[in-house]
Chain A
C-alpha cells in the first residue's frame, strides 16, 4: 500500500494535512510562542497532537486514547528506526522507551488506554521544554 510522500515527524506543514487525510481526523490548531499544536481526533477516539515549529518542522507528536495511532504515518521516516529499536526492548508490554540521539519514543498503557509521544531532540525549538509535549 503506497504511503503519502509526506510524513509527520520531521516533515513540514504539508505533512500535517496528509495525516489529517490519512487518519480521517478532525483538526484544531493552537499556537504557542515557538510552535503551533495541531490536534487531530481519530474515528476511534484517539487524540493526536503534532507540534510544528515556527521554522516549519514537525518536531514532536503525541497521542492518547483507546487505540494506538497509525505510527507509520505519524513517525514517517522514523517509523523503521522506531520498530527496529523496539526489538531490543525488555521492559514489559505496558511501557516502551526508545531514547536515541536523534529520536525519542515513549509509549505507555494498554488496550483501551494508550498514551505516548515521539520527538526529535535535535529539532526542539529553543525554549521548548520536553514536558510541553503531551
Chain B
C-alpha cells in the first residue's frame, strides 16, 4: 500500500499512549465565549501569537499549529479554535464547519449572491462558503474578514469543476487540522485572476454540481487577515527554535506580526529576498541545477528537492515510505536568490527518516527531513527551513523598512 510521508501511525500511537495523546486532537477549545480575544499568555506582547509543532489532530510530522479567535462581527460572541495550521504557502483563514460553533454572516458578491469557494491546494481542495468574521489574534484585530468555512453541510453540492481538480479535504481528518491561517505574501487568495469568470475558485450560490465559477472583486475574496490589522499589518515573522538531531516531541515558538513596526519585530541584519509579484516564487540553485519556481512554505512538512544520489526509503518501508533515507546524515546547502539578485547560501541537513522515526516514535518535530521532488523546476523549502532561523514574510503592496512586499527575509 502506498502511504507516502505518513508515519507508521499505528506504532507511533502505541507509544504515544503513554504520553496520553494518542490520536487525540488536544484539548478541544471549541466553547463559545462572550469575551474579547482569547489565546496567548498574559505576558505575551500584543503582536505575538504562540505556535507549536506537534502531532496535531491526525498525527503527522512537522505540522505547525496555532489557535485563532473568531467573532461574530461587531459582537463579543467569539470562539477560539485550536490546531489551526500556520501556512506561509496560502492566504487567508479557513476553518472547519465541524468545529465552528458560531453562526457567521455569509459573504456575498456585489449582486448580493452568497459565495462559496473551491480553494485549491497541491494535494487537494477545500470546499465551502465564504463567511464574515472579526478575527482576533494575540492583541491584533481585523474586522469583517472574509474567511472560508470548510465542509459546511448547507453547501453540500460541490461543482464538478471543483471535484475534478483532485481529492476533497473537507474534514479535520483529511485536512489534518481544524483550519488553516494563511499568512503568505498575498493579500487575497486568488487575486486578480478571479476578476474573470471561469477560474474555478469562486461560485455563486445556491451552488449546483454543473455550475461554472464566477468572478469576485478583490476585497470580497478570502483575505490575509494580517493585512487588515490596524497595526503590524505588513507581514509576519515565524520564530521557531532549532531542533535536536533526533527530533522532539513538540517545539514552541512565536508568530510575530509586523516587520520593523515594534521593538520585537526588527528586520535587523536579515537578508531580503524579493519574490515574483504574480506567483511568490524565486530561484534556488542546488547541485548546480536551477530551480526556477521555488517556494518557502511553513505548510510543507519537509524540504522537497531532487537529488538522485540520495537513497529514498521504499514505499514498503513501515516508517518512512518515500522519505530520503541517507546514511549517514548529509550536510547540504543550496543558494536562494531573490528577483533583484540578492542571494545567500542556506545550509540544511537530511537524516535517515526511517532511523529517526523508528528510534523516536513520539517525536513529531524534525529539522532534518526531506523527500524527493523530481518536478524539474521547484525546490520547496518546508518547515525545517524555519527551525532555528526567524523567517520574515512581507505582504504584497505593504510598506516596510526594506521596501514594499512581496518578499521573504532571513
Contacts and interface: CB of A to CB of B under 8 A. Distances in A.
Interface string B89-111: 11100000000000000000000
Interface string A81-100: 01111111111111111111
Interface stretch (A7-15, A26-34, A52-60, A62-70): A62-70
Contacts of A83: 166-167
B374 interface: yes
Interface in B268-311: 278-281, 293, 295, 297, 299-302, 304
Contact of B5 (A91, A100, A109, A110): A91
A93 B191 contact: no
The size bracket of the interface on A is 35 or more
B124 to A, nearest CB: 6
A68 B301 CA distance: 21
Given A67-B200, A68-B165, A108-B375, A114 B299 contact: no
B164 A94 contact: no
Query: Does more than half of chain B's interface fall in helix, strand or loop, or is it mixed?
Result: loop
Interface string A103-126: 000111111111111000000000
B64 to A, nearest CB: 9
A89 B300 CA distance: 12
Contact of A92 (B119, B164, B165, B300): B300
Nearest to B193: A66
Contacts of A71: 164-166
A87 B167 contact: yes
A90 B122 contact: no
Given A91-B123, A111-B91, A111-B120, A97 B295 contact: no
Given A68-B166, A87-B167, A113-B281, A93 B87 contact: yes
A130 interface: yes
Nearest to B58: A90
A107 to B, nearest CB: 5
Nearest to A133: B376
Contacts of A98: 2, 4
Contact of B123 (A69, A95, A111, A133): A95
Contact of B375 (A45, A84, A93, A115): A115
Nearest to B173: A87
Interface stretch (B241-249, B251-259, B355-363, B377-385): B377-385
Interface residues of B, number: 74
Contact of B120 (A95, A114, A133): A114
Contacts of B180: 93
Contacts of B199: 44, 66-67
A1 interface: yes
B368 to A, nearest CB: 15
Nearest to B1: A88
Given A111-B119, A112-B191, A44 B174 contact: no
B4 A94 contact: no
A133 B373 CA distance: 13
A43 interface: yes
B389 interface: no
Given A112-B186, A112-B193, A90 B176 contact: yes
A99 B120 contact: no
The CB with the most chain A CB atoms within 10 A, among B63, B164, B176, B191, is that of B164
A92 B388 CA distance: 20
Contacts of A133: 376
Contacts of A109: 122, 293, 295, 378
Nearest to A110: B89
Given A99-B322, A112-B279, A44 B295 contact: no
Interface in B202-259: 209-210
B181 to A, nearest CB: 13
A112 B176 CA distance: 23
A67 B325 CA distance: 33
B161 A94 contact: no
20 contacts: A1-B209, A44-B193, A66-B278, A67-B199, A67-B201, A68-B165, A70-B165, A83-B167, A87-B174, A88-B4, A90-B5, A94-B123, A97-B373, A108-B375, A109-B293, A112-B190, A112-B193, A113-B293, A114-B120, A133-B376
Interface of A: 1, 43-45, 64, 66-73, 79, 82-100, 106-117, 130-131, 133-134
Closest 3 CB pairs of A and B: A90-B60, A113-B279, A96-B123
